[in-house]
């Protein structure tokens, strides 16, 4: 019984948005309502504090992006919320993809003046591929905004998802006075509060109440009533089943910075959002979150998260059963049993040990190198979740350490960053492994790797960009004697599998003609994040 109740209480989600839409601000307000922080400004302050204490964060600060991600757990209205923080930059598509695999729902945050932006589309495509329920929060209504009907149209036409407004804004920018909650039929009025910790005052009244008309100029009021009428006239009510299938997104308007609309949103999210969903493993077994036997998978590994604790943390998403500290589970990939002694919850840079966790929760495991991304941990070996694919790399570089004395640290750094999935690592085929060839989805990944090798492993490196744009797995006999010409190169991955790197599609065709006995197969997952729906 305990298990069933605990699972039903979980809401595990991530916020997806284009940089600057207000993700940090909204995260902070969610924590504020959840009582996890007492005053607003703490998350941003922590972000700054971390930036000040760790050189590695310099990069994040300089670029104004959030590279690392954390899991925040907070209680709300009898529920346990798990917010998975996703990095905001497009070059980190893989990391975001892995994090979204661990989420049961996503909140799409949109800037009311900007609408759907490039990064919104990419992240949306990942959610769409998984068909996870999506909630939309249209932020910054306190600023001059686009016509809300036009924003809904954009969601439908650009993203191809049905948009159902749960509430409707009265005015925007200077004239913004609140939102009308369609379910309760009441207007929540907005009062400009200072950018701070206070909860926004909520007053309710029907939209036709003269007191509401008195809040705005006649034109704004008329437009508001007309639009509401139009929406109500559209007929169909909110279809929760369609939302759960990812076909319709409920839309909420608000202003995170002034706390407005956040509580309405959270209440609805808790009420309508999905509890942890069953997961299907590689053999198509359905793993129910309420199954007694514990299972979970590692979706992220991060070394040196905090300079005070120079260890590697593996983030485990619990999929079924109950996690208990010190329990012994099977790592299904290696077949070895592991005792989970050091399990923790992380809140920004603070950590706290975890005694129990349930499906939907994320546990950080201090990782002495025994876990890899995609590993299934379970009581028994009856379950094996699908491996998490790496994306198809498009950037390649040869890297060497400039100082032979630091070669050991260089190797360790490369091995650990590979394990984290920060970069893919290849070597010239069939040769002694000295100089790795790094492969990445986005070129910024190289800068991060270079920076981290220097700041965390004390190794200076030089990167030599290679002209290749595509990798293919090579299958067949006598791979080593393949004819590749000058526009391709044979390499092997960490596990010794042969791959060929190509400069262009044209060179793939040519090499294929020269080597009819070999197959050159697409390597890694297609970059879902780049696949923008029509
Ligand atoms: P991000 O994590 O998505 O990149 O965005 P972040 O929360 O850092 O917000 C980006 C900027 O937008 C911040 O302003 C923030 O205050 C502002 N913002 C967020 N939500 C709202 C809102 O509802 N209304 C308005 N008007 N602004 C909002 P900044 O000037 O970059 O930083 P700060 O000095 O205000 O912290």
Question: Could you report the per-residue pLDDT of 147-161, keeping only the tens digit for each?
Answer: 999 999 999 999 999
**Ordered strands of the 248-253 beta sheet:** 71-76, 79-84, 10-17, 105-111, 134-139, 248-253, 162-165
CA distances from 100 to 122, 132, 468 (A): 12, 9, 29
pLDDT at 126: 85
Cβ(108)–Cβ(134) below 8 Å = yes
Of 23, 25, 173, 194, best ligand 1 pocket probe by most atoms within 8 Å of the beta carbon: 25
Q: Which residues contact 294 (CB under 8 A, 6 or more apart)?
A: 318, 320, 321, 322, 323, 327, 329, 377, 378, 379
User: In degrees to the nearest 10, what's the CA dihedral of 329, 332, 333, 337?
Assistant: 30
pLDDT at 257 over 60: yes
pLDDT at 342 over 90: no
Residue 40 near ligand 1, beta carbon < 6 Å: no
Report d(CA 485, CA 252) in Å as an integer.
Answer: 57
pLDDT at 144 over 70: yes
pLDDT at 63: 39
pLDDT at 51: 39
pLDDT at 240: 94
Atom of ligand 1 nearest to the CA of 25: 7
Cβ(520)–Cβ(490) below 8 Å = no
d(CA 85, ligand 1 centre) in Å = 17
Pick the CATH number of 280-378 from 3.40.50.300, 3.40.30.10, 3.30.70.260, 3.90.550.10: 3.40.50.300
d(CA 480, ligand 1 centre) in Å = 55
The domain spans of the chain are: 15-66+107-274, 280-378, 395-531
Residue 86 near ligand 1, beta carbon < 6 Å: no
Residue 301 near ligand 1, beta carbon < 6 Å: no
pLDDT at 86: 73
Question: Could you report the per-residue pLDDT of 408-459, keeping only the tens digit for each?
Answer: 999 999 998 998 888 999 999 999 999 999 999 888 889 889 988 998 899 9
d(CA 22, ligand 1 centre) in Å = 5
pLDDT class of 56 with cuts at 50, 70, 90:
very low
pLDDT at 48: 46
Residue 89 near ligand 1, beta carbon < 6 Å: no
Q: For the chain, first and last CA: distance in Å?
A: 46
Strands 105-111 and 134-139: parallel
> Domain 395-531 is of which CATH architecture?
2-Layer Sandwich (3.30)
d(CA 45, ligand 1 centre) in Å = 14
Residue 145 near ligand 1, beta carbon < 6 Å: no
Residue 20 near ligand 1, beta carbon < 6 Å: yes
pLDDT at 377: 96
Name the percent of the chain lying above pLDDT 70. Answer: 85
**Higher local confidence (pLDDT), 82 or 342:** 82
pLDDT at 421: 85
Residue owning the nearest CA to atom 17 of ligand 1: 22
pLDDT at 347: 57
pLDDT at 53: 36
Residue 138 near ligand 1, beta carbon < 6 Å: no
pTM: 0.85
Radius of gyration of the chain (CA): 25
Structure tokens at 293: 């036997």
Question: Could you report the per-residue pLDDT of 173-210, keeping only the tens digit for each?
Answer: 999 999 999 988 888 888 776 555 556 666 777 888 88
Q: Which CATH superfamily is domain 15-66+107-274 in?
A: P-loop containing nucleotide triphosphate hydrolases (3.40.50.300)
Residue 21 near ligand 1, beta carbon < 6 Å: yes
pLDDT at 70: 65
DSSP-assigned beta bridge partners for residue 328: 339
DSSP string, 433-465: --S-EEEESSTHHHHHHHHHHHHHH---EEEEE
DSSP-assigned beta bridge partners for residue 352: 345
Residue owning the nearest CA to atom 9 of ligand 1: 22
pLDDT at 502: 97
Of 39, 257, 264, best ligand 1 pocket probe by most atoms within 8 Å of the beta carbon: 257
Residue 43 near ligand 1, beta carbon < 6 Å: no
d(CA 20, ligand 1 centre) in Å = 6
| Secondary structure of 378-392 in HEC code, one letter for each residue | ECCCCCCCCCCCCEC
pLDDT at 366 over 90: no
Q: Tell me if domain 15-66+107-274 and domain 280-378 are identical in fold.
A: yes
pLDDT at 43 over 60: no
pLDDT at 50: 43
d(CA 88, ligand 1 centre) in Å = 14
pLDDT (average), residues 517-530 = 74
| Secondary structure of 136-198 in HEC code, one letter for each residue | EEEECCCCCCCCHHHHHHHHHHHHCCEEEECEEEECCHHHCCEEEECCCCEEEECCCCCCCCC
Q: Which residues contact 522 (CB under 8 A, 6 or more apart)?
A: 392, 472, 473
Mark out the alpha helices in 255-294 (DSSP H runs).
262-272
Atom of ligand 1 nearest to the CA of 65: 4
Of 16, 18, 20, best ligand 1 pocket probe by most atoms within 8 Å of the beta carbon: 20
pLDDT at 65: 36
pLDDT class of 233 with cuts at 50, 70, 90:
confident
Atom of ligand 1 nearest to the CA of 26: 7
pLDDT (average), residues 378-407 = 89
């Amino acid at each position: 019984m305990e298990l069933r109740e605990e699972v039903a209480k979980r809401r595990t989600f991530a916020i997806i948005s284009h940089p600057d839409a207000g993700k940090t601000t909204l995260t902070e307000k969610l924590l504020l309502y959840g009582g996890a922080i007492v005053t607003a400004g703490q998350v941003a302050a922590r972000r700054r504090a971390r930036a000040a204490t760790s050189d590695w964060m310099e990069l994040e600060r300089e670029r104004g992006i959030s590279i690392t991600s954390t899991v925040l757990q907070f209680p709300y209205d009898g529920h346990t919320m798990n917010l998975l923080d996703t990095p905001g930059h497009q070059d980190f598509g893989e990391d975001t993809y892995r994090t979204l695999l661990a989420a049961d729902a996503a909140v799409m945050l949109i800037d009311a003046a900007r609408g759907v932006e490039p990064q919104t589309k990419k992240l949306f495509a990942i959610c769409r591929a998984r068909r996870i329920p999506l909630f939309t929060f249209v932020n910054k209504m306190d600023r001059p905004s686009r016509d809300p009907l036009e924003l809904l149209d954009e969601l439908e036409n650009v993203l191809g998802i049905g948009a159902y407004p749960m509430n409707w804004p009265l005015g925007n920018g200077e004239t913004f006075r609140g939102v009308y909650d369609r379910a309760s039929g009441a207007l929540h009025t907005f009062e400009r509060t200072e950018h701070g910790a206070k909860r926004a005052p909520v007053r309710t009244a029907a939209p036709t109440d003269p007191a509401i008309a008195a809040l705005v100029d006649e034109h704004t009021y008329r437009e508001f009533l007309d639009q509401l009428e139009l929406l109500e006239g559209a007929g169909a009510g909110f279809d929760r089943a369609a939302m759960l299938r990812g076909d319709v997104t409920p839309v909420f308007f608000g202003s995170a910075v002034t706390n407005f609309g956040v509580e309405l949103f959270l209440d609805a999210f808790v009420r309508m959002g999905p509890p942890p969903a069953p997961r299907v493993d590689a053999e198509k077994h359905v793993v129910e979150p309420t199954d007694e036997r514990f299972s979970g998978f590692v979706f992220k590994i991060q070394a040196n998260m905090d300079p005070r604790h120079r260890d590697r943390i593996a983030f485990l998403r619990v999929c079924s059963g109950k996690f208990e500290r010190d329990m012994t589970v099977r790592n299904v990939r290696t077949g070895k049993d592991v005792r989970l002694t050091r399990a923790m919850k992380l809140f920004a840079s603070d950590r706290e040990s975890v005694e129990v966790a349930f499906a939907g929760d994320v546990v950080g495991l201090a990782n002495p190198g025994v876990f890899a991304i995609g590993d299934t941990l379970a009581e028994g070996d009856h379950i094996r979740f699908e491996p998490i694919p790496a994306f198809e790399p498009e950037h390649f570089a040869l890297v060497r350490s400039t100082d032979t004395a630091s070669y050991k640290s260089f190797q360790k750094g490369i091995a650990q960053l590979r394990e984290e999935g920060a970069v893919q690592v290849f070597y010239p085929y069939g040769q002694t492994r000295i100089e790795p060839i790094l492969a990445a989805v986005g070129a910024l990944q190289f800068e991060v790797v270079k920076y981290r090798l220097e700041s965390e492993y004390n190794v200076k490196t030089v990167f030599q960009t290679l002209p290749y744009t595509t990798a293919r797995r090579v299958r067949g006999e006598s791979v080593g004697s393949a004819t590749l010409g000058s526009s391709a190169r044979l390499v092997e991955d960490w596990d010794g599998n042969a791959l060929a790197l190509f400069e262009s599609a044209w060179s793939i065709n040519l090499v294929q003609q020269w080597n009819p006995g070999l197959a050159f197969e697409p390597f890694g997952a297609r970059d879902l994040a780049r696949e923008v729906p029509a």
